[in-house]
Amino acid sequence: MQPNVLAAGTSTTGWVIGYTLGIIVVLAVVALVVPILILARSIGNEAPKINDALTQAVEHTAPLAALRTTIEHATIIIGGLQRGRARLGG
């Protein structure tokens, strides 16, 4: 009877080791995933603020598209002023 008891003890030792390793692996995965989820949540909380800031940037920089037209008109005006000065002898 003694060998059967010893075999049963060895069998449960394997299960204990298996469960222990499984728990360690699960805890390691949780330890790696939780910071990622926390970071993702903080990014998600900041996303509307970032979107609002980008929308404001688009609104505030929209007049820059007309800058090319302003430069063209200014160039024409400068050309006219230079011709006028040349005619006046200046």
**pTM to 2 decimal places:** 0.49
d(CA 25, CA 1): 37
Buried b or exposed e, range 66-78, using 16+ CB within 10 angstroms: eeeeeeeeeeeee
- Show me where the domains of the chain are located: 2-87
- Kindly give the confidence (pLDDT) of every residue in the chain, 90 residues in length, as a single tens digit, with 9 standing for 90 and above: 445 555 545 578 888 999 999 999 999 999 999 999 999 999 999 999 999 999 999 999 988 888 999 999 999 999 999 999 999 886
